[in-house]
Amino acid sequence: MALMSAMPQELSCILERLDAKPLQLGSRTYWQAQWMGQSVVAVLSRIGKVAAATTTASLIEHFGATQVVFSGVAGSLDQRVQVGDVVIATELLQHDMDASPLFPRYEIPLTNKSCFLTDQSLSLELKRAASQCLQEVRANMQLHGLWDQLGVQAKDICLHEGLILSGDQFISSAKISSELKLNQPSALAVEMECAAVAQVCDDFGVPFAAVRIISDNANDSAHMDFEKFIQTVAAPYGAHVIETFVKNRSIT
Ligand code: SAH
């Protein structure tokens, strides 16, 4: 099983939990370990679609990954999706793909597809792990303090499932995020990697699932310090979801 994140803070929280050996390939370091009885390879893809796509191809071709799971942060594109909430991707779309008029806008040329679906059973496992962690966060007062300090009401955090958009752009303007929402009304969140990972996994027939913790509202109003939120809340929380996901597998 392969575990991938785009930002160093996100991956280091996962690496802290396993005793992994590094293997350098190109400019990526792939961390191989036995984690609770499961063979895992964890890697930092770096930010953006190309970085994520090449890393995914290496995971599959070089490391023989038969499942890929991505964890990271994303901006919200829906009023119901708040900072601190968790989104499990059911489908992914590249919002910056536009080869019209040769192909319909958003369609990945020569695939007949705009959206790539995540694997249902892998996503269900990830959803179970995320929902277990959510209950723990709600119940744990110490964690509450941390979230509250950053302006997030831990008791209100929710789990969502749906469409996530990816593109090579950090969305930090209300104008752009409302355009994205207008064009893709069902979109819950926006980030910069997972639709590319999903496309590569689709090419190789490898199951893929993704979990994103909402770090911002993809608009001009900085809700809080993005870096601080990732460092102190989203990265440890995401790693906890992944650890729970792996732990659940080792039990069953
Ligand atoms: N200031 C940061 C920016 C990181 S880019 C830095 O310099 O390191 C943002 C990362 O978080 C990407 O990996 C992307 O997938 C995700 N992300 C979070 N919020 C996003 C948003 N509003 N738009 C696009 N990507 C977002």
Least reliable range by pLDDT among 104-108, 228-232, 237-241:
228-232
Instruction: Determine, yes or no, domain membership for 179.
Output: yes
Q: Hey, whose CA ends up nearest to atom 9 of ligand 1? A: 170
pLDDT at 81 > cutoff 80: yes
Which long-range contacts link 119-124 to residues 24+ away (Cβ below 8 Å)?
119/67, 119/207, 119/208, 119/209, 121/207, 122/67, 122/69, 122/207, 122/208, 122/209, 123/88, 123/89, 123/90, 123/161, 123/209
* List of residues 6+ apart from 135 with CB closer than 8 A: none
Report residue 141's pLDDT band, with 50, 70 and 90 as the boundaries. Answer: low
What stretch of H or E contains 39? Answer: strand 38-44
- Is 125 assigned a catalytic role? no
Over residues 140-165, mean pLDDT: 79
Portion of the chain with pLDDT greater than 90, in percent? 81
Instruction: Give bridge partners of residue 117 from the DSSP assignment.
Output: 91
pLDDT tens readout for residues 153-209: 777 789 999 999 999 999 999 999 999 999 999 999 999 999 999 999 999 999 999
Domain that holds residue 228: 68-251
Position 138 scores a pLDDT of 79
Least confident of 37-46, 105-114, 132-141: 132-141
227 pLDDT band, cuts 50/70/90, is confident
d(CA 140, CA 137): 5
Mean pLDDT of all residues in 44-64:
98
What's the Cα-to-Cα distance from 189 to each of 18, 28, 176, 194, 210, rounded to whole Å?
A: 29, 27, 13, 11, 12
Total number of domains constituting the chain? 1
Q: Calculate the dihedral angle through the C-alpha atoms of 86, 91, 93, 99, rounding to the nearest 10 degrees.
A: 180
pLDDT, residue 144, reads 66
Largest Cα separation within the chain, whole Å, is 55
Cα–Cα distance, 177 to 165 (Å, whole number): 11
Predicted local confidence at residue 105, as pLDDT: 98
Burial of 168 (0-12, 13-18, 19+ CB in 10 A): middle
- Give CA–CA dist 4/192, Å, rounded: 13
114 backbone dihedrals φ, ψ, rounded to 5°: -105, -40
In single-letter form, the type of residue at position 20 comes to: A
The CA 222 to ligand 1 mean position distance, Å, reads: 13
In a domain, 20, yes or no: no
Residue 223 has pLDDT above 60, yes or no: no
pLDDT at 97 over 90: yes
pLDDT-based confidence at residue 224 (cuts at 50, 70, 90): low
The verdict on residue 210 lying in a domain is: yes
Buried residues in 191-214 as b, exposed as e (16+ CB within 10 A): bbbbbbbbbbbbeeebbbbbbbbb
For residue 34, tell me if it sits in a domain.
no
| Rounded mean pLDDT, 119-127 | 98
| Residue 236 falls inside a structural domain | yes
**Burial of 109 by CB count in 10 Å (0-12 exposed, 13-18 middle, 19+ buried)?**
exposed
In this structure, of 90-94, 141-145, 159-163, 230-234, the range with the lowest mean pLDDT score is 141-145
CATH number for the domain spanning 219: value is 3.40.50.1580
Q: Does some domain include residue 175?
A: yes
Residue 226 lies in a domain: yes
Res 51 pLDDT > 70: yes
Q: CB 33: neighbour CB atoms within 10 A?
A: 17
Average pLDDT value for the chain: 93
Q: Residues 10, 91, 125, 191: which is the catalytic one?
A: 10
Alpha helix stretches (DSSP H) within the chain:
8-15, 49-61, 120-139, 141-149, 174-183, 194-204, 226-229, 235-251
Give the binding-site residues of ligand 1, using a 6 Å CB cut-off.
6-7, 47, 72-75, 170-172, 190-193, 215-216, 218, 226
State yes or no: is 216 an active-site residue.
yes
Domain assignment present for 42: no
